[in-house]
Amino acid sequence: MGAFKVLVVGCLQSIQALCLRVISKGQKRVMIYVSDRTTGSAADLRATSLVRPLEALGWEAMVARPNLDQKWRQRLNRCFQPHAILMQKARHPLNRPHLYPGIPCVVDVDDADMHDPKGALTEQKVYADAAEVICGSRYIASQVRPFNPKVTTVWTCTYIQQAQVPVSQTIRAQVVCWAASDPAGYPLELAFVQQVVLSLHARAPGFEFWIYGFKGGNPLMQSFVATLQSAGVTVRTWGSMPYRDFVESLTAVAVGLNPVCEDNLFSRGKSFGKLLAYMAADVAIVGTGTLDYPLFFDHGHSALMLENDPQEWGAQVANLLAAPARRAAIASEARQQFENRLSTQVAAERLAQVLDRVSGA
């Protein structure tokens, strides 16, 4: 189906012809409804990028643009005749299973949206109406299960397994980063990272700190950067960028931070997110040893998984900056697990199993 995989509104007759061609193959079919089309987003990593590997597993998949209205969705379903629907997040107002009677709907949830007071009831109904729910972590699964016992946990995976131009840890500069997509949205983690960077600066002042997801008009971010700079820390800020460019930029980083402050309920829903990019770029990881991370990382071997003590984090990062060979060993160990357990192929296989179940195919 080529470019037809991500649907552009066009001539209905052409769409019907394409759908008939697919149906004539006799393959199982899944319609995918996403909430956005940003590269590197959950919609990209957990839905759109699974189209090609799903084909090899016997599922023909079509991704509908999020701007399609309900009439166009109904037309597509009549033409494509899906055996199942995959809805990536309930944030899109049309990602509601009850709108598609007769078609089993699988809902994919990778954030703790159930804790948003404004949308909690909607989220609960979406979970309850779904044929099955795919969750990005054990915590999210625990929050969904009271509304729907048919839950499968699938960690977020990525199609970028290695940066285009790998850079050895032994020649990287003394760069430490926090590659959050929206750091201002996590003020507890932001304050913690600030303490870590100041602790590190007191021990090894020659490093440079990079922060991603920076929005210059945000007072919280302005204050964060100003505090570090006034202490003498060299800070570089990065705004949003295409996913591949993001991964490539990380090849200059020695140590990547991944703090989680569980006092924030939304933080409890975190999956592998930025960690995927760290591993694709062979960055040595220092993170909080909580959530599902201890199930993947081996502390001291593939990452450092620590308690949230900024002084300890500062000391451990300083040690890593002084030991490029150790950073390289940690990144190498993480890469082996990353390639085996967090590839798009792995996610597609888990999704195909769910689709087979709900469709009876």
pLDDT tens profile 329-356: 999 999 999 999 999 999 999 999 999 9
Which pLDDT score, from 0 to 100, does residue 2 have?
Answer: 40
Residue 64 domain-assigned (yes or no): yes
pLDDT for 46 equals 97
Q: Give the span between the Cα atoms of 7 and 94, in whole angstroms.
A: 16
> Are 214 and 152 in a shared domain?
no
Choose the weakest-confidence range: 12-16, 56-60, 150-154: 12-16
Residues 332 and 195 in one domain: yes
- Contact present, 316 and 308 (Cβ < 8 Å): no
From the centroid of its chain, how far is CA 15? 31
Q: What is the total count of domains within the chain?
A: 2
Q: Is residue 162 part of a domain?
A: no
Q: Average pLDDT in the 307-321 region?
A: 98
Q: What is the DSSP string of 7-33?
A: E----HHHHHHHHHHHHHTT-EEEEEE
- pLDDT tens per residue across span 241-278: 999 999 999 999 999 999 999 999 999 999 898 999 99
Closest CA relative to residue 154, chosen from 265, 283, 42, 239? 42
The three-class DSSP label of residue 214 is coil
Looking at the domain assignment, is residue 324 inside a domain?
Answer: yes
Same domain, 31 and 180: no
pLDDT at 303 over 60: yes
Instruction: In whole angstroms, give the CA distance from residue 144 to residue 138.
Output: 10
Residue 14's pLDDT band (cuts 50, 70, 90)? low
Please check whether residue 164 lies inside any domain of the structure: no
In a domain, 110, yes or no: yes
Instruction: Tell me the average pLDDT of the chain.
Output: 92
Q: Are residues 95 and 185 in the same domain?
A: no
Has residue 179 been placed in a domain?
yes
Residues 215 and 309 in one domain: yes
Contacts (Cβ under 8 Å, ≥6 apart) of 267:
112, 186, 188, 189, 260, 261
pLDDT at 99 over 70: yes
Domain that holds residue 189: 169-341
Alpha-carbon gap, residue 129 to 148, rounded angstroms = 8
Q: Is residue 256 part of a domain?
A: yes
Q: Specify the 3-state DSSP secondary structure of 72.
A: helix
Which amino acid, one-letter code, is at 185? Answer: G
Residues 20 and 75 both lie in one domain: yes
Tokens 């030991």 sit on residue:
323
Same domain, 96 and 52: yes
Phi and psi of 149, rounded to 5°? -75, -10
**DSSP per-residue string spanning 129-171:** HSSEEEESSHHHHHHHTTT-S-EEE----BS--S-SS---GGG
Q: Alpha helices of the chain — where are they, by DSSP H?
A: 12-24, 42-46, 51-56, 70-80, 120-129, 138-144, 187-203, 219-230, 243-249, 273-280, 293-296, 310-321, 324-341, 344-359
Residue carrying the six token digits 């308690």: 307
Q: Burial, 121: exposed, middle or buried (Cβ in 10 Å; 0-12, 13-18, 19+)?
A: exposed
Identify whether 163 is part of a domain.
no
Are 29 and 75 in contact by the 8 Å Cβ rule? The answer is no
Q: Please give the single-letter amino acid code of residue 219.
A: P
Q: Do 48 and 135 lie in a common domain?
A: yes
Report d(CA 33, CA 135) in Å as an integer: 16
Q: Virtual CA dihedral for 158, 164, 170, 173, nearest 10 degrees? A: -90
User: Do 324 and 347 fall into the same domain?
Assistant: no
Is residue 71 located within the same domain as residue 175?
A: no
Question: What CATH number is attached to the domain comprising 47?
Answer: 3.40.50.2000
Tell me the pLDDT band of 217, cut-offs 50, 70 and 90. Answer: confident
Considering the domain architecture, whether residues 174 and 100 belong to the same structural domain is answered as no
Structure token digits, residue 284: 């040595």
45 and 71 share one domain: yes
CA distance 66 to 340: 32
Q: What is the pLDDT of residue 93?
A: 95
Per-residue model confidence (pLDDT) at position 25:
62
Q: What is the pTM of this model?
A: 0.92
